[in-house]
Structure 1
Amino acid sequence: MNLNRFCYLLLLLAAVGSIFTSHAVIIWLLLANVLTLMIYGVDKMAARKAWRRVPEATLLVFGVVGGWPGAIVGQQIFRHKTQKQPFKTWFVISVIASIAVMVALYRFAPVSPF
């Protein structure tokens, strides 16, 4: 299976799994961050061993869907994607977009207390 497809399959499984919990958003953010951290580690290992890499677009998508804190931690722990300027620019844009979407959902989406 293609590594990129496997990453998206994990993200889809995390989304489906979080739906069936009582605190879906919290579980989703937790799973997205853990998966993002793991994917940064796998990509760093692949870079060192000259294996097939995770595309940068996939790393950015994981950040946009809420995994950006895990991405920041992964960048620091693995020293991965910290020097490549085009990626850093797109990463900052993706973090801003993610935060904007979360704020908009919190502000405008009706949330039931039960």
Structure 2
Amino acid sequence: MRQGTLIRLFPASIFMMILILAYVPGFIPRELFLGYLGVSLFTYLAYATDKHSSQRGGKRTQESSLHLLSTIGGWPGAAFAQQILRHKTKKPSFRVVYWLTVIANVAIFAWYLSPYNNIL
């Protein structure tokens, strides 16, 4: 892997480590932990399917669907798919929205871990 790839995977790798460190002592429920893993895997597969379709001229996955998957917790899988598959890495408008989904998801996760999550 190229050095740039490792740098781009750093946020997703750190988040996954935080997720594990929050799950093991019980700060987050098993369902949330497994949900992140499952949605990330599903998101990776959605990117792989879209990459395959783009190479074969088939029906593409809507960008809004990829962004929705990132928003609901699949962004680590999206990060790995983007770098490993080299898919959706060149289009600036896609990248901007992707990073907004990352920020939104991490903010919600941080809020969940905070003492303020009892407000609602």
| TM-score band, normalised by shorter chain | 0.7 to 0.9
- Per the alignment, residue 109 of structure 1 pairs with 117
- Per the alignment, residue 91 of structure 1 pairs with 98
- Per the alignment, residue 81 of structure 1 pairs with 88
Higher normalized contact order (CA 8 Å, seq sep 6+, divided by chain length): 2
Query: How large is the RMSD of aligned CA atoms in angstroms?
Result: 1.1
Q: Does 1:38 align with 2:45?
A: yes
In the alignment, structure 1 segments of 5+ residues that lack a partner are: 1-21
Distance 2:74 2:113 in 1: 17
In the alignment, structure 2 segments of 5+ residues that lack a partner are: 1-28
Deviations 1:53-85 (A, max 9, x none): 000000011111111110000001111000001
Q: Does 1:26 align with 2:33?
A: yes
Distance 2:87 2:94 in 1: 11
Identity percentage over the alignment?
30
List 4+ stretches of structure 1 deviating above 2 A.
none
TM-score (norm 2): 0.71
